[in-house]
Every structure is written in structure tokens, then in C-alpha cells.
Structure 1
Amino acid sequence: MAATALVLAACAPSPSADIAQRRASFDEPLPPMRAFGTPRSSASVRTNTQLAGDFLDLTFMLESGRELPRLTRFEGEITVGLRGSADATLQRDLSRLLTRLQREAGIPIRSAREGEEPSIVVEVLPRKELQRAVPQAACFVVPRVSGWSEFRRQRRSETVDWTTLETRERASVFLPGDVSPQEARDCLHEEIAQALGPLNDLYRLPDSVFNDDNFHTVLTGFDMLMLRVYYDDALSNGMSKAEVAAALPGILARLNPGGQRSGPTPTPPTPRIWIEAIEDALGPRGNMVQRRVAAERAVDLARAAGWRDTRMAFSLYALGRLSLSREPELALAAFIEAAEIYRRLPDTQIQAAHVAMQLAAFSLSAGQTAATIGLVEESLPAVREAENAALLSTLMMMRAEALALQGRTAEARAERTEALGWARYGFGADDVVWARATEIAALAPGPSDR
């Protein structure tokens, strides 16, 4: 990618729907929704020493910072039942997930038969109803209850306290039904994984859904390995952290022989002050100025700590997003630095693709079609592997606009049609799909802008 192209793009209008004035005219019907085929997950590149530390931190702590005294898991066959207004797409996604858990994690899990009481209930609810009970939660999982009604009765009791568990026998996953198919699927993956195994999220993990940065939306090779370890015969309910730590080297040597090598020292814990800065920057509270200040604080803390890992890059990514509308030059600089970090690391291809989308918006706004196409084509393999249809469709729409600017009309039309098919899965409702397409079309300069 040419650095001069990116510098020139900084002079173009910020890639934000807030300032886009030109609107495309779309009058053709939407194509059929596209769907992903055979999953393609890559193995983790970290050493078994690193993986052991990750497993312990994921397993013996909650996201709140509370410690868990013992390992708990399901025993025997696990069944999953779907309740509520689940459409055919969600049912297909659940079936694909259960198949992956069987094959990749070795977990004896299947769909519950009619009349059978499931081990894990997946209940679909209106988003407003879900958030009345748990504000700001897109979806969540709780132990020891079988469905929404029981949860409502027990939600203020120790029944749904993970720290009091001795073993896992029942759990319920609650997710919204009035969201895009991709958002519902993402909830399925993370919440069923937590129902089965680790309950913590770690910002340092580059290749996992167990990370609040939300770059990964379906279970990765790392996640499947963590779940396979969780259900290994060498572990059992009630084991302490010390007992699990003693068993992990042998388990990982057997399950992940490629990780039996030396490597970098384990990443130090993430300080709470940085997590709070990131949460302030990306959370719902505070105005835009306050959130941007929080992102700047996260960048400063990461620099002071000497980080050159995903946490440094994510701080920059957050700052870039929050600076787009008012300080596009700062946003571009932050995205370029984040891209450099992500490209240097061995397991951050999907993160690099998210940043590339931001950079492609700048280059498209500047009419730099070759740079836009290059950024998109570099990113697509990782995006397809990660099964992120929203990002895939956005990148393809950008490439379609760049192709149209080059006069390659037929290619642009075919690209846009495929992109709209993915957008139906990634964004859901027709009006949301068309709004996204219109925003992307508005980035491309019109004849008077060239």
C-alpha cells in the first residue's frame, strides 16, 4: 500500500455517513441472502505455555474480576433446545455450531429431541424485553435455569451466580430475535461457548471470541482448543486452579503438539485502568468529546506500558473511529499505526481487515481506486474465514464503487449484487441494507469532486 496514497486521502472528506451528501439511487430488488459454507478455522499460533496461561485466566475468573473457586462443566451428553421466534436461518446457524463443537472441540452435544428437557435452553426474545432485565446486554447466559420465566424469578438470587456452581447441569442463553442474522449467530457462538466453558473475556487474546474487542464473531481455532481442553478426561468438576494448572502441560502436549516449543513470555495482565478507559471510549455513556478523551487516555496508557500488541492497536483503532467526524487527519494516522501493528502480528488478520475497511473508506473518498481495491483484496480471505458478512459486504461495496469509478461497469454490478446478498445476512432488514449501500456509494466522489 502506498503511504502517499493514504496521506493524500487525509485531505478528502472524512468517511462518515454524517457528512455524506451524495446518495445513490437503488431501484433493483435485493438478491437472495448468502450463507457461509464449510467453516475454515485456523489453529492458534501461540505456544502451549501461553495457552495454559490463557486457559487459567479464562476459566478461573469472571469478566467482573471475581474469582471462580473451581472448574465446572457439564458431564455426559449435552442437549440444546431452541425456543421462541427462531427463524430458519438461526436454526441453521445453531445446527452448524453444534456440528463444529462435536468435530472441533470433541464435545458430546446435540439438539434436544421433542419433549426432551434441554441441558442448554436458547430462548429468542424481543431486544427491548431482554434489555429491560439486563440493560446494555446484547445477549447473555445464566446457569441453573431453563428459560426466561425461570430466570425472571431467580435473577436476584444465588441461583444464577456462577461462583456458587459445583457442576453444570442447566443453563439458558437469551438472545434478541429482532436483529440481523449475523448478530443473532454471533450471540449463539459466544454465549453457548460460555455456557459450556470459559466465562471470562481477555483483551490480550488476538484470535478469540473471548475478547471484548468483538473483532471475532464466530468461534475460532483457539476457542475450540480451549473447549477441547475444558472437556478433556484429565479434568473434572471441582478441580482447583492449582490442580488444573498441574494437568494442563500434559493435556496441551497431547492435544496441541505443535505448541510444544519455546516462544515469547506470556503477556502481562491488562491493568484495570486501561480497561476502564476503553470501556469509557466505546461504551454508551458520555458524549463524543468525553469518549474521544477516553480513547486518547487508552492510547497514552498503552504507550506508557510499552505495548506493541493487540491492546496498543485496539486503542488506536478506537481513537481513529472516534475522531473520524471532527479530526480525520488524526483518525487516519491512528488507523495507519494500528494497521502496522496488526499486520506485524501473526494472528490478527481479521483485526487488520477491520482497519483496512477504514483506510479503504479514506482512499475511496479521495478517488484512489487502485488503493481501495488493493486494501479490499488483501482483506477478503480473513473476512471470509471469520464469517463476518457485515464486513465482507461493506468491503465488497467499496470495491464495487472503485470498479465503477474505473469504468468497469459490469464487474462493479456483479460485485455489488454479491455484496448485497452478504449484507442481507450481515445487516438484516432491507432498509438497513439499502442504507449501508447508500452510505458506501456516497463515499465515492461524483464527477464534480474528481
Structure 2
Amino acid sequence: MRLSALIKAAATGAVLALPGCIDTTPRTPPQSRPSDLPTNIQSAQSQALAKYYARMQADLLTQGLLRTDGGGPDTPFSADILARNFERIAFFDEYERGAGLRAARGDAGALRRWNGPVRVSVEFGLTVSKDQQAKDRASVSGYVDRLNRLTGHPISMREQGANFHVLIVSEDDRPAALSRVRQIVPNINPASMQLLQDIPRAIHCLVLAFSDAENDHNYAKAIAIIRAEHPDLLRQSCIHEEIAQGLGLANDSPQARPSIFNDDDEFALLTTHDEMLLKILYDRRLQAGISAEQARPIVRQIARELLGGSS
């Protein structure tokens, strides 16, 4: 492997699938400081994190990683490889449900995705500068439009009535971000709240996906937490991976290439391979709740169609 275990761990995002609930609270953006105090002033802890992640991004780029080209002639893959990668990424979990960062046991589950429209909002902590807010809002909006076109599933930006909340916050915004999470998910489980209260530095970003109360395999709500201390490319990488994982591609695989669903950090942004994974995930021939065994021949057929019959 070209990266140390520490770097690989540091690039890991988390998908935590939790029991569903109904959001009946008004929207209150994260606020971490009284209104009479200056904003955009970083604490020593936040400044240290920003320097750490800036060095990390520079190191990865020096190694030729964090590619943004989407893959090319050096990263070929066949329909069989695509189907295999889809099964590993869509039917297996990285972390055990409702248990924070406890590793999953490795058993295949059923397919999970959104059946209803996905309405995405982006909110910022008070310490996030206006320039960064504008940049990140444009990044999320453009990515959401791309996902809508790719999947054929209704995915759009919303100021109100969102069910997929992207929170871009710094360490200094953490108390307010926790309050916002409790507003969105009043009955969130203790293990998840404990994780959010003290996110390890090794975790760049994470997404929590919540199932519908009436259908455990149908996502009804999600919250992505993205560190504002990241430099631009790492922050954009988090946006790409966490939103895609929150749509149902919950796992990573060391065999997936070219892909952001791989802890090797080779690719920073959604690749052509990953676009196909999303197309398979939301193909109408599959349904939420289908098992890996039931889905396997359907997935192979879709993969062959996407790659022009190549196996």
C-alpha cells in the first residue's frame, strides 16, 4: 500500500445507520458563539487542526494521490469487477448499526436506499467565513445536480423541508452542531451522540443515515458532518463521499478502483466507476430490501449494460 495506516484511517468517513424518527422541530442553523462576540476567529485547537489537514493534503498530493480526473486508461474495470464492487459497497456496512465506530461483523445485509425524494440543505457554523460558505454551497449544489442526473432519482437542494442535512462546522462550532443534530433527530441513540461529541482527528467527516420507521431498508433522513478546517480539496472530497454514502453506498472496499469508496486516497472526487455504482443503486430493477443473492444477477446485467456488454 502506498499510504501508512494512519493516513488510511484519517481518510475514512463513517456511515452509521440508525432508527428512523420524525423531524418536527424548526430549522435553527448551528451557532456556537453569542451574537455580540466576533465570528471567524479560530481557537488554538481549530487552528491546529487546520494546519494538520493542510499538511496531510499536501503530503497526499505530493504522492500523486487525491486524483480528480475520475479515472482513465490506467484504471480499467470490467462489468464483472463493477458488479463485485457494487455488492461489496452496497450490501456491507463499514460500521455496526447504532454502535458508533465499532467495526461491522462482515455479514451481507439488504439493499438500502432512498425511496422518496432527497432534499439537501447545507448549513454552516458561525466560524465559517462567508467566502468559504459561498464556495461550499456552490460545491454541494453542483454535486447534488450531478447526482440527480446520474441516478434519475429526485435529489435537489432545499432551504426548508430538507431531509439530508450537510453541516459544515469547525471544532469551535461543535456545541451548536450537537444541538442542531438533536433538533433534527430528537431520539438519536447515545452511541452516535457520544461519537459526535468527540470526533477523533482520524475521522475527516461522517454521515449518519436514518431509516424509515416503517421500513428499515428505506432511508428517510441523513446528516453529514464535514470539518470546516479542511483545505478546499479535502473538504470537497468529504462532500462527495459522505453524500454518496448517505444515498446508500455505505461501505469501502480495497478492491474498488477507480473509486472514492477505497481508503487508499487515490481519488478525491466521484469517479466514472462510482457514477455507475450510483446508477446501479437507483436502477428500478432493484428495490430497497433486496438481498445480495437476489440482486446479484440483476446487478450483473445492469453492469454489462453500463459497460456496453463487456464482462
TM-score, length-normalised on structure 2?
Answer: 0.60
Residue of structure 2 equivalent to 1:134? 199
1 CA distance for matches of 2:153 and 2:272? 14
Q: Note the C-alpha offset of 1:110.
A: 0.8
Q: Counterparts of 1:173 and 1:261 in 2: how far apart (Å)?
A: 36
Unaligned 5+ segments in structure 1 are 1-38, 146-158, 263-450
1:229 aligns with 2:260: no
Query: Conserved in 1, the CA contact under 8 Å of 2:151 and 2:283?
Result: no
CA displacement at 1:65 relative to structure 2: 4.1
Could you tell me which residue of structure 2 aligns to residue 16 of structure 1?
A: none
Q: Secondary structure at the match of 2:279?
A: helix
From 149, 160, 165, give the equivalent of 1:115.
160
Q: 2:247 corresponds to which residue?
A: 196
Give the aligned partner of residue 231 of structure 2. 180
What is the CA–CA distance in structure 1 between the aligned matches of 2:145 and 2:209, rounded to whole Å? 23
Q: Match of 1:125?
A: 169
Separation in 1 of the partners of 2:170 and 2:82? Answer: 38
- Displacement of 1:186 in angstroms is 1.1
Q: Number of aligned pairs?
A: 203
**Residue equivalent to 1:208:** 259
State the shift of 1:252 in Å: 2.0
Residue aligning to 1:70: 110
> Which has a greater percent of strand?
2
Q: Which amino acid is 2:210 matched to?
A: R
In structure 2, the residue matched to 1:356 is none
User: Contact 2:207–2:242 (CA<8 Å) still a contact in 1?
Assistant: yes
Output the amino acid matched with 1:115: Q
* Residue aligning to 1:261: 310
Query: CA contact under 8 A between 1:131 and 1:137: conserved in structure 2?
Result: no
CA-based RMSD of the aligned residues comes to 2.4
Q: Quick one: which amino acid aligns to residue 261 of structure 1?
A: S
Match of 1:82 among 118, 122, 127: 122
Report the structure number with the largest CA radius of gyration. 1
Structure-to-structure mapping, 1:400-439, within 5 angstroms? none
* TM superposition shift of 1:247: 1.2
Q: Distance in 1 between matches of 2:147 and 2:245?
A: 13
Query: What do the CA deviations read for 1:414-447 (whole angstroms, capped 9, x no partner)?
Result: xxxxxxxxxxxxxxxxxxxxxxxxxxxxxxxxxx
Alignment of 1:9-408 (within 5 A): 41=70, 45-63=76-94, 64-66=103-105, 67-85=107-125, 87-112=133-158, 114-116=159-161, 118-127=162-171, 129=174, 132-135=197-200, 136-144=202-210, 165-257=216-308, 260-262=309-311
Bigger helix fraction: 1
Looking at structure 1, the residues matched to 256 and 300 of structure 2 have their Cα atoms a distance apart, in angstroms, of: 20
Provide closer, same or farther for how the CA distance between residues 218 and 41 of structure 1 changes in structure 2, counting only shifts above 3 A: same
SS at match of 2:219: coil
TM-score (norm: length of structure 1):
0.42
Q: In structure 2, list runs of 5 or more residues that go unmatched.
A: 1-67, 95-102, 175-194
Higher RCO structure, 1 or 2 (CA under 8 Å, sep 6+): 2
Give deviations 1:14-46, integer Å, cap 9, x for gaps: xxxxxxxxxxxxxxxxxxxxxxxxx96457731
Deviation at 1:53, TM superposition (A): 0.9
- CA-CA distance at 1:131 after TM superposition: 6.6
